[in-house]
Amino acid sequence: MNYDAIVVGAGLAGLVATAELTDADKRVLLLDQEPEASLGGQAWWSFGGLFFIDSPEQRRMGIKDSKDLAWQDWLGTADFDREDDEDYWGRKWAEAYIDFAAGEKRKWLRSLGVRFFPVVGWAERGGYLAEGHGNSVPRFHITWGTGPGIVEPFERKLREAIKKDLADYRPRHQVDELITKNGAIVGVKGSILEESKAARGEKSSRTAVGEFAFQSEAVIVSSGGIGANFDLIRKNWPSRLGNPPQNMIAGVPAHVNGRMLSIAEKVGARMVNRDRMWHYTEGIKNWNPIWPQHGIRILPGPSSIWLDALGHRLQVPNLPGFDTLSTLQAILSTGYDYSWFILTQKIIEREFALSGSEQNPDLTGKSIRKVLSRVLPGPSDPVQAFMDKGEDFIVAKDLEELVNGMNHLTGEHVLDYAHIKRQIEARDRAIDNPFSKDLQVTALRGARKYRGDRRIRVAKPHKILEPKNGPLIAVRLNILSRKTLGGLQTDLSGRVLNDDGEPITGLYAAGEVSGFGGGGVHGYRSLEGTFLGGCLFSGRKAGRGVIEDIGK
């Protein structure tokens, strides 16, 4: 088969780009180093959250949103400060993405059979003034079917294209080199890896059993970020966040190592915003790991008491679910790379969700009956499993026993029971009135003004130390690696640029490897729901960019 385009990486961005090309009757070679079991990449493992603006789901929940408000939030969050250079294209991508999220994005996905959970989540709430970081309103739409529900229509399109001889999908093909001719990219070379029975997400062999070389007019790189490459994360770690953590857990499989970034740089591609990254502070070690150092993120409501490793309550805006990177900076400033939640049984029942498709079998399996069971007493089954088996969880009948367990878990014995007790008692006094100077208590009361939070997400305010609300629970929170916010700089057609800002003929990028568009569509921070959306949007843009260019 002669190929019009080669796509390197069979994650969501690669699948979307492939679908755009084959829908236009272009012949595509799709290469991936992993076994076929991992088709769909990181998107398959995701919670399926998508960022929409003024959606029917928002309006039904009484949310008033607009493109102007979303753009205000995006700018306050991104804080673009390199606009004449590394942020030039990132900001243009951001403007285009806001148009997409406010316009055709939802209609396009629905035309592919994608549906959404009716309650809209409120992620990254901010905690600043109106023009600062965070979502002014809830915008986090959960895909019915979570990550697999997003991957499915594009996998289906791939299978259909294969039957029509428009697509050739070859797993276990690891690209090692981009072929150049007269300054243009004209193909790829690489290693054929031995067959692997590794299940989805498991680490697979890198033993080569052969070589390959393919040529094409266009190559789209959609190979993901650096989230499992802890050495590269530490190398690129920004000083503004403090010293890089010595201990991290991995939110992504081992193959997410960033190797295609350096391969693209060797042919002149420009990598920008290396110092921008997105790592979570609410990671827990998976008691049933799939990949090395496998971690899961807690999606917390706003009520848990958040303490640093020394037992000091985190200051505003470092509240659960408000500002991920500010909280990361605050935690690392202590000289430790972990922190603690203290909460009650009532809080864990209402407010603890776990990120990921495998941790939400009700939503992933599209079971209305199981979803409705979340309102019943007790934590969800996945949360209960972590309480029973997870090494980061401690359950106790009173605070003294809880603090003793926390000290025993770390072995550092730096937590003072009296100090922690005094802070929680002070917080509990703030519950006596419907108003308070404690901004966390004010925030959780404010959250319950939103219908979705009041009904299923935020517990009724109550005193942590009252025995009737127990037992008490402590959770050690680890730094969880996740996303690359910088990447290969691209124009709005997905063309990869060189150091002079000129397109490299024949080379395109999409997804996380391109900073989700332009080398950094998010700037310094994310509003959430924008990573999957960034893969969808940049994959579509790159596919259409290739169609436009090879048709000239």
Q: Both tokens of residue 497? A: 């640029």
The yes/no answer on whether domain 3-223+485-551 falls in CATH 3.50.50.60 is yes
pLDDT at 234 over 70: yes
pLDDT at 546 over 80: yes
CB 504 within 8 A of CB 497: yes
Average pLDDT score, the chain: 97
Model-level pTM? 0.97
Across 273-347, the runs of DSSP E, i.e. the strands, are 277-285, 295-299, 305-308, 338-344
Q: How many Å apart are CA 298 and CA 322, to the nearest integer? A: 13
Residue 308, phi then psi, degrees to nearest 5: -80, 180
Would you list the DSSP string of 332-369?
HTTT-SEEEEEEEHHHHHHH-EE-SGGG-HHHHTT-HH
Architecture of domain 281-362+378-480: Alpha-Beta Complex (3.90)
Show Cβ contacts of residue 193 under 8 Å, excluding neighbours closer than 6 positions: 33, 172, 173, 174, 204, 205, 206, 207, 208, 209
pLDDT tens readout for residues 3-52: 999 999 999 999 999 999 999 999 999 999 999 999 999 999 999 999 99
Q: What is the pLDDT of residue 552?
A: 65
pLDDT at 422 over 90: yes
Q: What is the pLDDT of residue 377?
A: 86
User: pLDDT above 70 covers what percent of the chain?
Assistant: 100
pLDDT tier for residue 374 given thresholds of 50, 70 and 90: confident
Element (H, E) at 235: helix 230-236
Q: How many Å apart are CA 54 and CA 42, to the nearest integer? A: 27
pLDDT tens readout for residues 146-192: 999 999 999 999 999 999 999 999 999 999 999 999 999 999 999 99
Q: Nearest-5° angle of CA 219, CA 486, CA 31?
A: 25
SS3 state at 43:
helix
Q: How many Å apart are CA 542 and CA 527, to the nearest integer? A: 23
pLDDT tier for residue 372 given thresholds of 50, 70 and 90: confident
Which residues of the chain does CATH 3.90.700.10 include?
Answer: 281-362+378-480
Q: How many Å apart are CA 368 and CA 33, to the nearest integer? A: 37
Q: How many Å apart are CA 136 and CA 433, to the nearest integer? A: 26
Q: How many Å apart are CA 146 and CA 164, to the nearest integer? A: 29
